[in-house]
């Protein structure tokens, strides 16, 4: 029988033994649940005595968007310290002298961290039953949303891991990860809207390449988690560019998340190697071994 | 078993190792001595496959640490100068994790962990959380961790650092046992008298360069090429130091009561002729012998009294 990866086993043991884990889970459910119940309460207050089924869709959208933002908050927090934390505890060097490959270390860290996020998401499933109670939602939408969460979580977690491998300090790594996640969720959306506005204000003939601008806007909105989620929920069509990227939006988003995530994980594993390869690897090599020498 | 040849490692403008060469034969306990920043930890990190040398070669049992890092990792047990704690893991789980990371079959681990905990005098601490152990216990657990895959070479960076005398004595005893098990041990420490007791050979390193190496006795005798001799006389002789200073090979004589000590460069027959000269000139010599200097004094003499090494940070 295949043995579970030792780093994964250790991480799961450590993570699920902590009292903090249970508190975090409770806090997560309390926040999401409170959000949904508050939404229902406010709707009920505004129109007492009856419940409109189309409100289910609103709750579903609210719940899903809230969950996305909580994921954007939790996933980086869990992963941005996985390597830098080992470095700060001075356990990384010992780990690197074992026979485990750096890829195996990075991958196990990712799985262990995201396992908890998956637990968080599964724990929220009963909240979705509130939505189904009143109808108005296609059954296929929930798996679609959860698939979206998994992909997004993979990307956010990979960002956290590469930052924790690159930066020596967990504080810097965490801040940078949150910055990048914010750029990915909010920044690209704003950029897409801004570029659309640029294209609208300027006449097409004054632009260097209007086709390219539309392509960029389309790419940005098909890789922006908020735009994609709203599209899955059929709540928003997004910006109309008239450009096709060749594949359905969900396929483009899947390729983007998996491709970029795997690339970041591969880079993380390279950062852990003593062999410097290129400027960024050299920088990380110096950092990952403290100030280089000590005695 | 361990061979460093012309190893150079530079960090920015600082040259941590400068054409450093060293050879450690199988089964020896080999001490690495040097002041802060001498390059001890860098040399050990290169051997542990954590750093790449800029130039030169580093071999463990004939395998290049750069070409075959995975093979080398199986041959060595590395203990850094600081014990990093994993929160929420028990001692036995800690060892099990590393045994699994080294590919030790699951069926063998339970017995192995029990044996290792006994070896390091922690037989009843298997279920205790690692972060609840004392520093001395953590160091011994770290030593047990180094042994989970039965390596032939142990690289121990300041293993006695921060330990109380009792914990140091326990660690020393374990290292002695490991030597009897045939392990080759490369060890750095700032507690030089203990290192002298434990080690078969030592190397003194400074500014990334090898200053001297060899058996402890030989090092203490031949530091700076001069031996320290002492002459005891029967009655006060204030002129003896001046007389000695005029003799060939003698330098820096000083008087302490009825004893005159000095450094002497010359072989044993020349030393015998010096004694003859003293006696034939009527000095009332009652003892003429060599002063056995300890490793700490030799280190201070060799490194220009820059201070004791306590490397690793």
Same domain, B13 and B110: yes
pLDDT per position as a tens digit, A121-133 = 888 888 877 777 7
pLDDT per position as a tens digit, B261-295 = 888 888 888 889 999 999 999 899 999 988 766 66
- The CATH number of the domain holding residue B277 is 3.30.70.100
Q: With CB atoms and an 8 Å threshold, state whether A98 touches B84.
A: no
Same domain, B161 and B260: no
Q: At what angle do helices A54-79 and A225-232 cross, to 10 degrees?
A: 150
pLDDT per position as a tens digit, A86-122 = 888 888 888 899 988 899 999 988 988 888 888 888 8
Residue A131 dihedral angles phi and psi, to the nearest 5°: -65, -45
CA B242-B245-B250 angle, 5° bins? 155
Same domain, B162 and B245: no
Q: With CB atoms and an 8 Å threshold, state whether B100 touches A91.
A: no
Averaged pLDDT for residues B214-227: 68
Judge whether B201 lies within some domain. yes
| Highest mean pLDDT of the ranges A45-54, A285-294, B155-164 | B155-164
CA B79-A8-A168 angle, 5° bins? 55
Q: With CB atoms and an 8 Å threshold, state whether A89 touches B85.
A: yes
The whole-number pLDDT of residue A175 equals 94
**What is the average pLDDT value for chain A, to the nearest integer?**
81
Domain count within chain B: 2
Flag whether residue A211 sits within 8 Å of chain B, measured between CB atoms: no
| Nearest-CB residue to B98 (from A14, A98, A293) | A98
CA A31-A173-A223 angle, 5° bins? 65
Tell me: pLDDT of B313 over 50.
Answer: no
Q: Which residues, other chains included, contact A76 with Cβ-Cβ below 8 Å and sequence gap of 6+?
A: A156, A157, A159, A160, A174, A177, A178, A181
Nearest CA-CA partner of A225 in A215, A238, A213: A238
For chain B, give the percent of residues with pLDDT over 90: 23
pLDDT per position as a tens digit, B113-127 = 999 999 888 888 889
Instruction: Enumerate the residues of chain A whose CB falls inside 8 A of the CB of residue B38.
Output: 295
Of the residues B214, B241, B257, the one at which a domain ends = B214
pLDDT per position as a tens digit, B81-96 = 887 778 778 999 999 9
Same domain, B25 and B119: yes
Q: At what angle do helices A210-222 and A225-232 cross, to 10 degrees?
A: 70
Residue A90 dihedral angles phi and psi, to the nearest 5°: 60, 40
pLDDT per position as a tens digit, B170-182 = 888 888 888 888 8
Flag whether residue A202 sits within 8 Å of chain B, measured between CB atoms: no
Same domain, B165 and B51: yes
- The CATH number of the domain holding residue B201 is 3.40.50.300
The whole-number pLDDT of residue A294 equals 47
The whole-number pLDDT of residue A160 equals 94
Judge whether B221 lies within some domain. no
Averaged pLDDT for residues B129-144: 87
Tell me: pLDDT of A34 over 90.
Answer: no
Judge whether B309 lies within some domain. no
Q: How far apart are CA A272 and CA A285, in angstroms?
A: 7
Contact B273, B250 (CB under 8 A): no
Of the residues B167, B189, B214, the one at which a domain ends = B214
For chain A, give the percent of residues with pLDDT over 90: 21
For chain B, give the percent of residues with pLDDT over 70: 89
Of the residues B214, B248, B265, the one at which a domain ends = B214
Poorest-pLDDT segment among A144-153, A202-211, B111-120, B174-183: A202-211
Alpha-helical regions (H) of B237-285: 240-245, 268-280
Tell me: pLDDT of B311 over 80.
Answer: no
Flag whether residue A210 sits within 8 Å of chain B, measured between CB atoms: no
Could you give the strand order of the β-sheet that contains B285-291, starting from the edge strand earlier in sequence? B250-256, B259-264, B227-233, B285-291
Tell me: pLDDT of A151 over 90.
Answer: yes
More confident residue, A244 or A65: A65
Instruction: Enumerate the residues of chain A whose CB falls inside 8 A of the CB of residue B97.
Output: 6-7, 9-10
CA B233 to chain centre: 37
Tell me: pLDDT of A206 over 70.
Answer: no
The whole-number pLDDT of residue B286 equals 92
b/e burial code for range A127-147 (CB count within 10 A of at least 16 → b): bbebbeebeebeeebbebbbe
Judge whether B303 lies within some domain. no
The two beta strands, B201-206 and B209-215, are: antiparallel
Name the pLDDT band for B297 (thresholds 50, 70, 90): low
Contact B185, B179 (CB under 8 A): yes
Q: How far apart are CA A99 and CA A3, in angstroms?
A: 15
More confident residue, A277 or A243: A243
Q: Which residues, other chains included, contact B259 with Cβ-Cβ below 8 Å and sequence gap of 6+?
A: B230, B231, B232, B233
As a whole number of Å, the end-to-end CA separation of chain A is: 45
Domain region containing B250:
226-297
Tell me: pLDDT of A282 over 90.
Answer: no
Same domain, B122 and B235: no
pLDDT per position as a tens digit, B30-44 = 998 887 788 888 999
Same domain, B75 and B173: yes
Judge whether B311 lies within some domain. no
């Amino acid at each position: 029988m295949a043995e579970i990866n030792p780093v994964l086993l250790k991480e799961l043991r450590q993570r699920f033994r902590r009292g903090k884990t249970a508190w975090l889970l409770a806090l997560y459910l309390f926040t999401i649940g409170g959000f949904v119940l508050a939404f229902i309460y406010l709707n009920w207050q505004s129109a007492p005595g009856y419940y409109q089924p189309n409100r289910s869709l609103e709750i579903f959208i609210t719940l899903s968007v809230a969950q996305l933002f909580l994921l954007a908050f939790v996933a980086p927090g869990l992963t941005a310290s996985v390597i830098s934390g080992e470095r700060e505890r001075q356990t990384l060097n010992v780990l690197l002298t074992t026979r485990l490959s750096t890829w195996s270390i990075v991958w196990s860290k990712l799985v262990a961290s995201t396992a908890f996020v998956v637990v968080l998401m599964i724990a929220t499933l009963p909240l979705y039953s509130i939505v189904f109670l009143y109808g108005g939602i296609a059954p296929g939408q929930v798996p679609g949303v959860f698939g979206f969460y998994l992909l997004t979580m993979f990307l956010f977690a990979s960002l956290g891991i590469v930052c924790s491998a690159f930066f020596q300090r967990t504080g810097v790594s965490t801040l940078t990860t949150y910055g990048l996640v914010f750029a990915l969720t909010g920044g690209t959306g704003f950029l897409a809207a801004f570029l659309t506005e640029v294209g609208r204000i300027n006449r097409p003939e004054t632009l260097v390449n209007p086709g390219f601008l539309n392509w960029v806007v389309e790419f940005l909105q098909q890789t922006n988690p908020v735009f994609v989620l709203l599209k899955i929920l059929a709540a928003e069509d997004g910006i109309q560019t008239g450009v096709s990227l060749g594949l359905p939006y969900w396929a483009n988003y899947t390729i983007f998340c998996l491709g970029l995530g795997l690339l970041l994980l591969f880079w993380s594993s390279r950062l852990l190697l003593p062999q410097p390869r290129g400027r960024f690897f050299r920088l990380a090599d110096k950092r990952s071994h403290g100030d280089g020498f000590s005695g | 078993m361990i061979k460093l040849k012309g190893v150079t490692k530079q960090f920015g403008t600082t040259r941590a190792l400068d054409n450093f060469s060293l050879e450690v034969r199988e089964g020896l306990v080999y001490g690495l001595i040097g002041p802060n920043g001498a390059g001890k930890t860098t040399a050990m990190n290169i051997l542990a496959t954590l750093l790449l040398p800029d130039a030169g070669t580093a071999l463990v049992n004939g395998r290049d640490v750069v070409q075959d890092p995975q093979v080398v990792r199986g041959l060595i047990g590395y203990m850094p100068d600081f014990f990093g704690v994993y929160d929420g893991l028990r001692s036995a789980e800690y060892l099990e994790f590393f045994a699994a990371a080294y590919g030790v079959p699951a069926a063998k681990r339970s017995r192995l962990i029990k044996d290792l905990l006994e070896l390091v005098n922690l037989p009843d601490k298997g279920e205790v959380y690692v972060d609840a152990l004392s520093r001395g216990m953590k160091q011994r657990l770290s030593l047990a961790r180094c042994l989970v895959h039965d390596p032939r070479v142990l690289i121990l960076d300041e293993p006695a650092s921060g330990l109380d005398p009792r914990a140091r004595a326990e660690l020393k005893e374990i290292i002695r046992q490991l030597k009897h098990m045939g392990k080759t041990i490369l060890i750095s420490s700032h507690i030089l008298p203990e290192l002298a007791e434990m080690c078969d050979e030592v190397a003194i390193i400074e500014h990334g360069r090898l200053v001297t190496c060899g058996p402890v006795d030989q090092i203490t005798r031949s530091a700076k090429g001069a031996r320290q001799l002492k002459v005891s006389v029967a009655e006060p002789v204030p002129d003896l130091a001046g007389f000695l200073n005029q003799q060939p090979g003698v330098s820096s004589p000083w008087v302490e009561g009825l004893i005159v000590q000095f450094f002497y460069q010359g072989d044993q027959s020349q030393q015998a002729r010096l004694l003859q000269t003293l006696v034939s000139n009527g000095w009332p010599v009652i003892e003429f012998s060599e002063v056995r200097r300890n490793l700490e004094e030799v280190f201070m003499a060799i490194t220009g009294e820059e201070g004791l090494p306590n490397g690793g940070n």
